[in-house]
Amino acid sequence: MQDIITGIAYVVGDDVDTDQIIPAEYLMYNPSVPAERKLFGRYAMVGVPPAGAGLPKGRVPFVDQTDESNSRSRFSIVIGGRNFGCGSSREHAPLALAEAGVQAVVAEDYARIFFRNSVNGGYLVPFQCAQRLCESVQTGDELEIRVAEGLLRNKTRNTTHKLEPLGDVAPIIEAGGVFEYAKRTGMLK
């Protein structure tokens, strides 16, 4: 895990579920096949409703779908509201975000299974913020997360927000996932 995570924000609202993050029709791809794994990134967030559906205005595609070879997003930090990652227990949701280039998600709270899948798979860092950021941060804002300090700085708007400590999951994230953590600590050989 980096000490400082920088990137462009993609803002969503409350109750973004795993079907919106990676719709079921794209679960036919095999994440162990590199060419197919990239497709999870290409189709990440295609199920998020467009602007005007109770979500922030100005919704833009998360991944540019006009270039068929593109599987990466220009947005590397997702800002969510309450209950981010609710729905099914599919591990493919944080994998899809990671394959699209997301390094971190900052939300008010998470569905527990999404949070653990993010941490255990070493896919991305799920930060929690006590403040409601999905109404003050806008898609396209330039953000900086200072991990050790627990701060999110919005460079576009010149604001700073406190993040909750990562706590007991920090060593797992630092190791790159639960299996790497188990190897490093001698639980697995």
Quickly count: other Cβ atoms within 10 Å of residue 164's Cβ. Answer: 13
User: pLDDT tens digits, residue range 110-147?
Assistant: 999 999 999 999 999 999 998 999 999 999 999 999 99
Residue 8 belongs to a domain = yes
Domain count, the chain: 1
How would you class 184 by CB atoms within 10 Å of its CB: exposed for 0-12, middle for 13-18, buried for 19 or more? Answer: middle
- Does a structural domain hold residue 149? yes
C-alpha span between 96 and 23 (Å, rounded): 10
3-33 pLDDT tens trace: 999 999 999 999 999 999 999 999 999 999 9
What is the CATH classification number for the domain harbouring 21?
Answer: 3.20.19.10
Q: What is the pLDDT of residue 68?
A: 84
Q: Is residue 157 part of a domain?
A: yes
How many Cβ atoms from other residues are within 10 Å of residue 166's Cβ?
A: 19
Cβ atoms of 70 and 50 within 8 Å: the answer is no
Opening angle at CA 18, ends 15 and 20, nearest 5: 75
SS3 assignment, position 103: coil
Range scoring the smallest mean pLDDT among 59-63, 96-100, 149-153: 59-63
Q: Is the pLDDT of residue 53 over 80?
A: no
Residue 17 is assigned to a structural domain of this protein: yes
| Domain with 15 in it | 4-184
Q: Which two tokens stand for residue 176?
A: 């790159």
- Answer whether residue 79 is part of any domain: yes
pLDDT for res 55: 47
Backbone angles phi, psi at 178, to 5 degrees: -65, -35
CA dihedral over 20, 25, 30, 35, signed as positive or negative: negative
Phi/psi class of residue 88: alpha, beta or left (left: φ > 0; alpha: ψ in -120 to 50)? beta
- Answer whether residue 53 is part of any domain: yes
Alpha-carbon Rg for the chain in angstroms: 16
Query: What's the half-sphere exposure (Cβ side, CA atoms, 13 Å) at 136?
Result: 17
Q: How many Å apart are CA 74 and CA 40, to the nearest integer? A: 15
User: Looking at the domain assignment, is residue 189 inside a domain?
Assistant: no
